[in-house]
Amino acid sequence: MKPALIPHISYQNFVLDQLNTHYSGGILTLVQKDWTIISKLWITDLSFTTTWLHDSYSVKGPEPRDPASMLRSYLLCLLTSPTLSITEWVNQLHRVPLYTILSGFEPGDVPGVGTFYDFFRRLSGFEKANVKPFIKLKRKKKKKKKPKKGEKATPRNPGIIRKLVDRHLRNGSKQKQLPGDQLYAFFQSQFLEVSARLGLLGDPHSLGVVGDGTPVETARYPRSKPICDCSAQGLTNCTHPRRYSQPDIDSGWDSSRERYFNGYHLYMISTSDSQYDLPLYPRLHPASRHDSVSLVVGSIEFSQRYTLGTIDKILLDAAHDAEPIYELLDHHNVEPFIDLNVRTKKNFSTQSDIQISPLGVPICPIGMEMKPNGFDKSQNRQKWRCPLACGTKNTCSTPCSKAKYGRTFHTFKQDNLRLFTKTPRSSEKWKLIYKRRTSVERSNKREKVDYHLESGRHRSTKMWYVRLYSIMMCQHIDAWYSSQKETLNIQEIIFSKSA
């Protein structure tokens, strides 16, 4: 049968009654850490989960568990014991009455392991466990050259970025169904909107975002088994397809750990204007995929799904310094702040006596960098002026212009999107904005270190998305609590209501 909607106020009253029943006699006590968890769930309204998943339940059959309580229980697991499996978490609910109460269940009435996985299936909304089929040809092992220390692996297919961008600019991109689509729609409506309303994402009309990839190891080695009997016949060089337990993963290079790994390449897009480094959109790619390719795919998908505002700028590291990426971002009216991967130390010549440095700064005839002097929106060009001219004074011994104002030079963005950025890289404004690029690394650290993303014991892309989005929900809940904890005294609220 269909689940019944339980308002959040009813959940709060339930928690209040249960805490007074089980923790007011002095036998069971609460410590300060418990009150923090109570506060986080007290302010998190998950009642819409029941409405969201209403159509996924049958009209007939027994009464199901409350979907909001099921999600709340899993989030509580990640907030308290993120390394536990679902089986271990169910055992924890039997042992600790507080966790059962905060989930929304009465002590002694705990859902089983199968109930949790049935809920995850409904929450994800994706019928297939993986995107690729389980049975596929075994990839031939190639001798891999180990990159240098701190160096990232190069793209496997040179020119793929240009092909992807040109195809998108020429034909556009149709929105494809992904394993995390329903999860993202729920995450955007119930978490991103709340964070935006609280002012935790920055200005929604000119949002700044950051993108970066990080490895997610899911297995020590690729697991597969044969579907033929060649081994029994003594044939060692079998070329038949094999059945893989995780068909969506492959092998990639982890530059931080300096070794190869098997798993996913998680590309995360987060907000650059939030002091809490909040995530916005995740995408699980094969481990072998390069950051630049992941950015092209992820940014297009994000622009198709994000509906809460306008993306104004994006901050990226030098791994994304490719001309097609600048063209893609310019097509979407997003200003790029990308660190240059300097390919040469030579200056570029122009039709005049002024040259252009590898960083996109004009060099005057005496070899000095010219100073930025504003951006002309009407002409869509950047203005530069003589570095030695100040007002009507010019300290240059060999001035190249008779003008009292000094020599001026203009660079047009369309001449070279990579070098002539709207905000010059040499300006203090560019440096100040680009400092926020590390926010995505802190966000990824929260997911991988604080919430132990890689501790998930899953074999399907669907379940990895469930775990990943649930961790992102916890990150937003932590931000809600941090922004309100100075004015929120949950102990006083509960004691005043019980009195």
**Interval 128-156: pLDDT, tens:** 889 999 998 877 666 666 776 666 777 77
Q: What is the pLDDT of residue 27?
A: 65
The CA-based angle 402-397-405, given to 5 degrees, is 35
Q: What is the pLDDT of residue 365?
A: 82
Q: What is the pLDDT of residue 391?
A: 64
The CA distance from 160 to 151, in Å, is: 20
Q: Are 267 and 213 in contact (CB under 8 A)?
A: yes
Distances (CA, A) of 357 to 133, 354, 360: 50, 10, 5
- pLDDT tens digits along 58-105: 999 889 999 999 999 999 999 999 999 999 999 999 999 999 999 999
Residue 26 pLDDT class (50, 70, 90 cuts): low
Which pair of tokens denotes residue 152?
């990232």
Q: What is the pLDDT of residue 261?
A: 92
The sign of the dihedral angle between the CA atoms of 349, 351, 354, 358 is negative
More confident: 393 or 430: 430
Nearest to 220, CA basis, from 170, 257, 188, 191: 257
DSSP code of 205? Answer: G
Average pLDDT of the chain to the nearest whole number: 89
Please list, in sequence order, all residues whose beta carbon lies within 8 angstroms of the beta carbon of residue 447, skipping any fewer than 6 positions away: 268, 279, 453, 468, 471, 472, 475
pTM of the model: 0.90
Q: Are 450 and 410 in contact (CB under 8 A)?
A: no
Q: Is the pLDDT of residue 498 over 60?
A: no
- Angle, nearest 10°, between helix axes 67-80 and 113-124? 100
The CA distance from 308 to 298, in Å, is: 17
- pLDDT tens digits along 7-23: 999 999 999 999 888 88
The dihedrals phi and psi of 316, each to the nearest 5 degrees, come to -140, 155
Residue whose token pair is 């440096």: 431
- pLDDT tens digits along 225-237: 888 888 888 887 8
- Angle, nearest 10°, between helix axes 490-498 and 8-23? 80
Number of C-beta neighbours around residue 463 at 10 A: 20
Residue whose token pair is 């010019």: 394
